[in-house]
Amino acid sequence: MKSVDLISKNIPSLLPSDTGSFAIKLMNEYHVTHLPVVHDHHLIGLISEEDILNIHAEEAPVESLQFSLVKTFIRDHEHPLEVMRAMAQLRLTLIPVIDQHENYLGAITRESLLNYFNTDTDVLEHGGVLLIEGALKDFSLAEVVRIIESDQVKILALFSRTLEDKLSITIKVNQSDLQPIIADLNRFGYEVKESFAEPEYFSSLKDRYESLMNYLNI
């Protein structure tokens, strides 16, 4: 899966001559606060609702405005995790995608990114979640995986984070009974800071995801 596969087909782009009020109208219609400005298949920049409202430029053409996100884009070959990083870092509701020739291909929305994690990963499947911490110098991810999978458990997803001299990893497994796994990890010196195993937790998580998707589709 590449970023180009996540492009939302229905998201419009703006022409440089479009007014700020027209841009805001489209943003409201598509439930976003950003839109790409495109001229002759070339991405001019990403304009936000804030860019327009801050200087009361509703009737001015967007090409006359100062874009706060002029060079914000993702290339068509990048992975969805890079899309997620860029969107989260800049707090974007969508991000433009360009090809190797700098041509604008379309935009990825939060909705299409969430759909990817729901349909192409096992993040929302039933099971258990472990938050494990250990000293960075002593932490062996390969060993942690070996310990967990030695109990005939399948790892569905894994995320890591470095915290000063510690490594913190969140692991989703396909088993709700986490006590044998926790005991094995503790025996090898890995601290399980938190665990989530109740089926109701995952049902609630899935319900919240579906509610969010319904809201985005309003």
Q: What is the pLDDT of residues 30-63, one digit of tens each?
A: 999 999 999 999 999 999 999 898 877 788 899 8
Write down the domain spans for the chain.
3-118, 128-204
**What whole-number distance in Å separates Cα of residue 82 and Cα of residue 88?**
10
Whether the pTM exceeds 0.85: the reply is: no
- Contact indicator for 97, 3 with CB cutoff of 8 Å: yes
Report the helix count and the strand count for the chain, using DSSP H and E: 7, 9
Judge whether residue 215 has pLDDT over 60. no
| Percent of the chain at pLDDT exceeding 70 | 87
Which tens digits make up the pLDDT trace of 72-87?
A: 999 999 988 899 889 9
The string of DSSP codes covering 94-162 is EEEEE-TT-BEEEEEEHHHHHHHHHHSSSTTSSSEEEEEEEETTT--HHHHHHHHHTTT--EEEEEEEE
Q: What is the pLDDT of residues 126-145, one digit of tens each?
A: 788 999 988 888 888 899 99
CATH of 128-204, one of 3.40.50.2000, 3.30.2130.10, 1.10.1040.10, 3.90.870.10: 3.30.2130.10
What is the assigned CATH class of domain 3-118? alpha beta
Is pLDDT above 70 for 217? no
